[in-house]
Structure 1
Amino acid sequence: MTDRTEQAPFWPAPTAPGAVDATVMVPGSKSVTNRALVLAAHSTEPGWVRRPLRSRDTVLMADALRAMGVQIDEVVNPAGGEAWRIIPAGMHGPATVDVGNAGTVMRFLPPVAALADGPVRFEGDARASERPLHGVIDALRELGARVDDEGRGALPLTVHGAGSLAGGAVEVDASASSQFISALLLSGPRFNKGLELRHTGRTLPSLPHIRMTVDMLRIAGAKVDAPQDGGTRDVWRVAPSALLGRDLTVDPDLSSAAPFLAAALVTGGRVTIPGWPRRTTQPGDRLRRLFTEMGGFCEVTDRGLTLTGSGRVHAITADLREVGELTPVVAAVAALADGESVLSGIAHLRLHETDRLSALAKEINGLGGDVTETEDGLRIRPTPLHGGVFHTYEDHRLATAAAVLGLAVDGVEVENVATTGKTLPDFPRLWTGMLAGADTRPFTGAARPWGDPETNETRG
């Protein structure tokens, strides 16, 4: 199979020559990496984040923390591992933070900036200014912070840090994004009175991400009372406390495994993802159930997760409220299924990197599909598809969904496949390597000597 270039304006998505049979090592979790960086910055002693994801979103997070005075040094292992050493310091302004279009950066860091000494300006991509931040901004004001956003409830904005924040009780409607809650929880231990946060909205999407935040806070030494432990519904309490520097190894990003596992399902082949954890709060673990319902067979062993396709793709009716980030790839697979699929509970995806529901309907229909938007999701009826341009709207998950469709549809041209660098650096090489049956591993850059992390040469 020819390895077609990803440098062209439109990337020709390779058609599968047959059933895939490959092992694909996906990089680390973006969600875990960025939460770990924030918690380490709040800690009272240095910490380590090992095997982090190095992507646009995580580099933006690291650079933002550096701009506020946190020291982050990097060491690379010749065997492919990488470690970041985080040395907390008194955070300060003035500073300017580029959030790109990263939800975790634009939402997690304003509470951090409120604890810094001096003003911190937040700017980002054009789409970032259209994404809601009102939940974080309003809550910070209630907790005692000064935030200038000219009434937009969105970027750009300036947080005038005073070195501390009173904290206490606050109500937040997080219907638009669970990140509003995670953002406040991550900095809650540093607030003078801690935090008592009550969600007031009708729905709360992406609960697994909030559970991830709570688990990681506890690993860092925070005392958290959460609904997941039988506490008061929709109320989280964080006691004021010092956080401890930890040595954390980041698990693979299970959501980033979605297109590769989908390839096994679509082609009737087999794909193994090494390092799949037996216990995890990552939303991507739901793929095991979803793809089993759609015709695959999943097995988790000490080696990792192996998904084997049956040669048929079944339609599915699924509420994806808690795992909305999986929707683009699931929708692509559903467009190749044997019947009508209904995906629901995902109205909040209209506020993600792009309006994902509208974009998926438009782009799949542009290839001859039959997708209609519902009030809170998509209805997908299978029809014969044809080639054409699949626009990605600078959304990494749209690009990987297009690649999945390209496995079965000749002539799919993916606009700006480089946008996958947000969470899946080097995606085109991993994808073509999988189709060639290779044991594919993500590129980690130039190797450096690896020994005692304390004595290795590092770069800040």
Structure 2
Amino acid sequence: MTGTAAPKQRRWTPPYATDRLDAVVRVPGSKSMTARALVLSALAEGPSTIRRPLHSRDTLLMVEALRSLGVTVDTADPELWRVEPGPLRGGTDVDCGLAGTVMRFLPPVAALADGPVAFDGDPHARKRPNDGVIWALRDLGVKVDDGDRAALPFTVKAKGGVTGGGLEVDASKTSQLISALLMAAPRFKRGLDLRHVGDRPVPSRPYLDMVVQMLRQAGAEVDDSEEDRWRVEPGSLRGREWVIEPDLQNAAPFLCAAVAAGGRVTVLDWPTETTQAGDRIREILVEMGSRVEWARGGLTIVGAPAVLPVHLDLADASELTPSLAALFGINRGPSSIHGVAHIRGHETDRIAALAKELTKLGADVVEYDDGLKIGGHATRPMTWETYADHRMAHAGAIVGLVTPDFEVSDVACTSKTWPEFAAVWEQAILGRGNGAV
């Protein structure tokens, strides 16, 4: 099983595509669903199971954090994790690594513990904004000692419960703030009446659909009928079996590979109905001129390398930005992406990082506050920097398909959501087997 320590960097030469692709790929479980299932199971009254969970640094950091809070999580069976909730205990430390899900989802859970809980993480994580969660907890009457940083490290001074009630937040930086508060809300004495009051809309809305759906499946009463308002009644959550879908965000670079190199790529077990934001990649690639088929046991993209220019608002699917930006950088354009200002606060400033690396590659790039305009040209040899960001490594893999003498500075950072990414990518591109693992 993958550990939770920061991975040692590993330089990587991604495979160059010498022929059209014909690959079948199995991607691991959804990080978003696995993280939410772990939190909801930890807050339930009875035991739960999580079938086909994602094994990655982020999800194992969540497991270890919940264990430190007194929750029993049995990961001995890699295909079926078992969660036994218990009284939440304080006097403990939580290592967030570089996982936004841990640093945002668990402070409201920690506020229910019987003593202080200290949070810290990787050096890069200390640069990620967490002011929304910290300020929200303070507005709920929970003391948080953050040294006026509004970021890691901080300590939640828990006293065994949260009153709850009405709360206004600005969630325009990340939807994870809403998700975090909603998951803990059934355990608040008065539940939660939560309103988003920011000047900009909440990004990545499909994640909110996901958390509301999963809360209801666990027995919570959630009213989201009014825009930018969520009402959660106090009550107990049921233990249950969670079945995790394939991670469609991790599938995106493989589908983009069919466009970059031509040919066919199938992702097995693609859900026909889902709340995952990554599902939007299907319609985007069709808009760019490729074809979608439900075939070979999953979703197949038949790529069209001479892509059509597109202009995308990715506010609700911003995790697709790096893979699509890489695709734009190696194909004709110009194409553009808007609505993703919030990804400047992800593992790195993804807009700035993409602009820098694509410019080094030879693309024409215009950087906006909330996105990029990219026109591709002939690529040139380079080392693609990843900035400790798994999505930047995915983008580099796509560029490497058509760029000789190309290296990615660090592929080990993909362990955040998929430790086997590089091996599966090489199988898919070089045709070792069929890429399915």
**TM-score, normalisation: structure 2:** 0.96
Deviations 1:244-287 (A, max 9, x none): 01111100000100111011111111011111111101011000
Structure 2 residue aligned with 1:330: 324
**Do 1:13 and 1:411's aligned partners in 2 also have CA atoms closer than 8 Å?**
no
* Of 426, 434, 440, the match for 2:435: 440
Per-residue CA deviations over 1:404-445 (Å, capped at 9, x if unaligned) read: 000011111101101011112111110110013333344xxx
Identity %, equivalent residues: 51
Equivalences for 1:19-418 in 2 at 5 Å? Answer: 19-76=20-77, 82-201=79-198, 202-226=200-224, 231-300=225-294, 303-418=297-412
Q: 1:126 to 1:25 in 2, by over 3 A?
A: same
Residue 144 of structure 2 contacts residue 156 of structure 2 at CA under 8 Å; is this kept in 1? Answer: yes
- 5+ residue gaps, structure 1, are 1-5, 443-460
Q: Using the TM superposition, give the Cα deviation of residue 299 of structure 1 relative to its aligned residue in structure 2, in angstroms.
A: 2.1
Q: Equivalent residue of 1:75, what SS?
A: coil
Structure 1 CA distance for aligned equivalents of residues 115 and 10 of structure 2: 42
Q: Which moved more, 1:123-132 or 1:324-333?
A: 123-132
Q: CA deviation at 1:310?
A: 2.6
1:108-155 Cα shifts (integer Å, max 9, x gaps) = 000000001111000011121111111111111111211111221111
Q: Is the 8 A contact 1:313 1:333 kept in 2?
A: no
Q: Is the CA contact 2:338–2:372 (under 8 Å) kept in the aligned structure 1?
A: yes
Gap regions ≥5 residues in structure 2: 1-6
1:9, CA displacement in angstroms? 4.3
> 345-354 or 299-308, which moves further after superposition?
299-308
Q: Which amino acid aligns with 1:20?
A: L
**Which deviations, in whole Å up to 9, do the C-alpha atoms of 1:141-183 show, x marking residues without a partner?**
1112111112211111001111111001100101111111111
What does the per-residue CA deviation read over 1:299-320, in whole Å, with 9 as the maximum and x for residues that have no partner?
A: 2358211111134222210000
| Over 3 Å off, 4+ runs | 6-9
Deviations 1:298-353 (A, max 9, x none): 12358211111134222210000110110000000111222200110011111110
Please report the RMSD computed on the Cα atoms of aligned residues, expressed in angstroms. Answer: 1.4
Question: How many angstroms apart in 1 are the aligned matches of 2:9 and 2:314?
Answer: 34
* TM, length-normalised to structure 1: 0.91
1:436 and 1:151 mapped to 2: Cα distance? 51
Instruction: Look up the equivalent residue of 2:371 and give its one-letter code.
Output: G
Total equivalences in the alignment: 429
Could you tell me whether the CA contact under 8 Å between 2:305 and 2:331 is conserved in 1? Answer: no
Partners of 1:209 and 1:253 lie apart in 2 by 13
After alignment, is 339-348 or 143-152 more displaced? 143-152
Larger mean CA deviation between 295-304 and 342-351 belongs to 295-304
| Cα distance in 2 between the residues matched to 1:8 and 1:41 | 33
SS at match of 1:424: coil
Partners of 2:9 and 2:411 within 8 A in 1: no
Contact 2:14 2:426 in 1 (8 A): no
SS at match of 1:278: coil
Residue 187 and residue 93 in structure 1: after superposition, are their counterparts in 2 closer, same or farther (change >3 A)?
same
